[in-house]
């Protein structure tokens, strides 16, 4: 799978971008990675707030998201329906 070695975000400076397609990144880093390298895939681990705030953008690239987890410590029964709904767009 393609990898991306780095990305620069004008407003925030350099951000972490996955070195392999299995390195988890935030929603912002994932969207930047996919914008710079559309053939890449990403693993996302971020807060539910960030995931929901960027839901439209995530749904447009859902096929490129290989895993999506929340860092908020939500119980599986709370997170699983949200994750399944988003991933169904892929």
Q: DSSP states of 10-44 as a string?
A: TTTEEE---SSTTSEE-HHHHHHHHHH-TT--EEE
Distance CA 52, CA 11 (A): 21
pTM of the model: 0.68
Q: Please give the pLDDT value at position 85.
A: 74
Q: What are the residues facing 45 on neighbouring strands? A: 69
**8's tokens:** 């620069």
Residue 7 has pLDDT above 70, yes or no: no
Residue 13's pLDDT band, with cuts at 50, 70 and 90, is: low
């Amino acid at each position: 799978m393609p990898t991306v070695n780095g990305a620069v975000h004008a407003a925030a400076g350099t951000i972490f971008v996955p070195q392999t397609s299995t390195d988890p990144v935030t929603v912002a880093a994932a969207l930047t990675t996919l914008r710079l390298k559309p053939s890449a895939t990403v693993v996302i681990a971020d807060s539910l707030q960030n995931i929901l705030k960027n839901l439209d953008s995530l749904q447009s690239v859902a096929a490129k998201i290989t895993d999506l987890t929340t860092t908020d410590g939500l119980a599986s029964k709370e997170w699983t329906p949200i994750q399944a709904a988003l991933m169904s767009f892929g």
